[in-house]
Structure 1
């Protein structure tokens, strides 16, 4: 849900190019933009072909299969006279384990996109899908991360490090081309019944390894709110850097319990190897950046999201978790019927003893 703002009128882009069109966020954004008759042209870009269902949803959008690490992205921007670029290609939520190839896609690909925007006289706006992982996760973190307060110990590797570099390139573009409005959206951990993310796969494990003696605070962003936020950024002039997150927090123990699963307390140093044993191919092995998050958690301050970005999520953290459990692919280790049967037996036994 978007709140009205008297200060800034909606600016409907004429020609929009979206990278990462085979991903959930990029693909469904293309579908939403293509359904907007006020937008003249929507161009979807990815090196991978989207699923048949996603391609069908994209409707009138034009799909280009190209690698953003190559100069072809500049040709596409020029050919379609693009005025708005939504860079959703950085690999953050994919199930693949972080690797040199993914780093190259994230960093080199983003360099090419920024270079193409800089050379194009038609581009006036760039929206980057970033992540809260840029803040890192450690025992010295503040209660909430605001956009202007970096982590005391920034990520040295992995997805968080990639996006720190990517954000740097985007800000460099803004300095060199001050006529281009740049919007950076730092998404909190996403959950939903359709999207596949690492935290979703982790919470779907019947037995969930958790660091003994730690109670990390978690904050979630619903997949629908994630889509609505990037659509809002595309249709409205909102330059700046913004945390995008649902209200409220839950502890890891609460999240596991509400999913109907069992928490397995283990030494913090053992989380990564134990997940590697239990995941059964469903979850990539955790790297240091991910295990830090599972030990310390991460909460983002979403004040600027409301006051400057003028966006209001429909789902709180708690509601997002409940929707993920209710409509997602996770199933409780002990079903509700089993719990009710055990309660009934206990009640019968207690009555017999009276």
Structure 2
């Protein structure tokens, strides 16, 4: 039986591993190839692993040899301090991958695992960002800047290869006990530094929901750009109370450096760009995901927070493995 031959990038990450395994079980998919520079810790099931660096031209050879017709790009990650090369991993890797897709006559679909970080975080933000909204601030450095560039290169690719169907999924942070995320690491900390005078609105998506949206984008044709986040918002203060974590108020000026010092003192850390989200927050509208993409998420933001609370013991610092 014929089916799609799917390439999944960044497969050493636990979430990408989960997506790759789920795709391998989908009846519309004939074969899944996972690429990364290191072998995943978890089982890949029926996924074929190829050790390859998407920042190099070798990715084009992998796609040609494996007859790839669908690409799922999941190797975009915020970089923790001390783990340099974030821009190279995110932006240069995407450029090389898109160049390989452009040269391949086989590729017919690209699913980009993007982030709501593309909207940035600033005091001028609207109540809800729609897919047509532009960033108001906070996208000049770090991971948000990477995502803006990645999406820009993807739009350029779309103009050069209009025959390739492109789905861009702008996902909120997930908050999960089994999978690493920067916001999850923050909320696992013994104390939570917060900007004095601010109580940001936050949104989350559950791991199963985000996985299912990605699988749906591969299995069916869903062109366009879509926000992916659980309905509703949760205030930082509400989440802290639920988790039983004490909040450490810090002056907004210099909050990034002060927050990092507090977290490092208790054995944790914070990604360089996360401090803006923890000050101004961010919320997105998901009407297009329901009405155009045709997918209803199973968990609200509040339910994601509650599930996370039930999975961690209050006051205990525990950082799960995953790409950082």
* TM-score (ref. length: structure 2): 0.92
Aligned to 2:21: 31
CA distance in 2, matches of 1:153, 1:227: 29
Aligned counterparts of 2:107 and 2:164: Cα–Cα separation in 1: 7
Provide the C-alpha distance between the structure 2 equivalents of 1:274 and 1:199, rounded to a whole number of angstroms. 17
Give 2:274's aligned residue.
Answer: 290
Deviates more, 1:262-271 or 1:187-196: 262-271
Provide the residue aligned with 1:331 in structure 2: 313
**Deviation of the 1:129 alpha carbon:** 0.6
CA–CA distance in structure 1, aligned partners of residues 285 and 28 of structure 2: 33
Residues in 1 aligned to 2:210 and 2:288: alpha-carbon distance in whole angstroms? 16
Q: 1:266 and 2:250 equivalent?
A: yes
Q: Tell me the secondary structure at the aligned position of residue 126 of structure 1.
A: strand
Counterpart in 1 of 2:237? 253
- In 2, Cα distance between the equivalents of 1:38 and 1:282? 45
Deviation at 1:181, TM superposition (A): 0.4
Q: CA deviation at 1:200?
A: 1.0
In the alignment, the residues of structure 2 paired with residue 282 and residue 78 of structure 1 have an alpha-carbon distance, to the nearest angstrom, of: 45
- For 2:33 and 2:193, the matched residues in 1 are separated by 42
2:186–2:269: 8 Å Cα contact kept in structure 1? no
Which residue, out of 132, 147, 164, partners 1:163? 147
Q: 1:28 to 1:137 in 2, by over 3 A?
A: same
Residues 291/165 of structure 1: CA separation in 2 closer, same or farther (3 Å cut): same
**Does structure 2 retain, via aligned residues, the 8 Å contact 1:13–1:234?**
no
Instruction: Go from structure 1 to structure 2 and tell me whether the alpha carbon gap of 1:204 and 1:15 turns closer, same or farther (over 3 Å shift).
Output: same
Q: What residue is the counterpart of 1:216 in the other structure?
A: 200
Partner of residue 47 from structure 1, selected from 26, 37, 40: 37
Give the Cα–Cα distance (whole angstroms) in 2 for the partners of residues 62 and 293 of structure 1.
37
Conserved? CA contact 1:201–1:282, under 8 Å? no
Structure 1 match to 2:5: 15
8 Å CA contact 1:275–1:286 kept in 2: the answer is no
2:127 alignment partner, one of 143, 162, 166: 143
Asked whether the 8 Å contact 1:68–1:113 carries over to 2, the reply is yes
What SS class does the counterpart of residue 180 from structure 2 fall into?
coil
The equivalent residue for 1:350 is none
Please report how far the alpha carbon of residue 270 of structure 1 lies from its aligned counterpart in structure 2 after TM superposition.
4.3
Deviation at 1:332, TM superposition (A): 1.5
Q: Distance in 2 between matches of 1:276 and 1:138?
A: 20
Q: State how many pairs are aligned.
A: 314
Deviation at 1:197, TM superposition (A): 1.1
Q: Name 1:65's counterpart in structure 2.
A: 51
Cross-structure match for 1:190: 174
2:104 matched to 1:120?
yes
SS at structure 1 position matched to 2:156? helix
Structure 1 position 266, deviation (Å): 1.7
Moved over 6 A (4+): none
Which structure would you say has the larger Rg?
A: 1
Please, what TM-score do these two structures have when normalized by structure 1?
0.85
Q: 1:277: how far off?
A: 2.6
**Structure 2 residue runs without a partner (length 5+):** 317-324
Query: Cα distance, 1:214 vs. partner?
Result: 1.1
